[in-house]
Amino acid sequence: MQIEMALLYPGHRYTLVRMRLRVRGTTIGANNRLDVLKILTTGVNGTELGNWKGNILELVEDWEENETHDPDVPAVSHSRGLTPFVFVPFEEADTSVLNLPVEKMDYFVPG
């Protein structure tokens, strides 16, 4: 199963972060993982955004991967740091070893 997501953050220029994720596990109560397949940042035209009435994912779903709508913000595909997201059951959030501070856990290797 794959998941598409888009996050828009404002600033001097609007920038859109698009991600494609894959669900690795669906075991109830397990520390399931979302593998990050692709991260792409791209520019969004403020006028186009102001006239849009739907959600942001609907706006960009037909865009090509290297498409940008602001010439000052090129589309960039990111390949570093594609570490999986790991989900911890809410009941275990305070006690999970995955939530240790940096001083106690240097790294985590997902299985």
pLDDT (0 to 100) of residue 90: 78
Report, as an integer, the average pLDDT of 15-23.
Answer: 85
- Separation of alpha carbons 105 and 6, rounded Å: 30
Per-residue pLDDT at 9 exceeds 60: yes
Instruction: Give the percent of the chain with pLDDT over 70.
Output: 89
- Range list of H helices, the chain: 46-50, 56-60
- Separation of alpha carbons 53 and 21, rounded Å: 26
pLDDT (0 to 100) of residue 109: 64
**In terms of pLDDT, which residue wins out, 28 or 75?**
75
pLDDT (0 to 100) of residue 111: 57
Q: What is the pTM of this model?
A: 0.63
Which of 22, 61, 14, 24 has its CA nearest to residue 38? Answer: 22
Which phi-psi region, left, alpha or beta, contains residue 57 (left: φ > 0; alpha: ψ -120 to 50)? alpha
- Residue pair 74/43 in contact (Cβ under 8 Å)? The answer is yes
Per-residue pLDDT at 108 exceeds 70: no
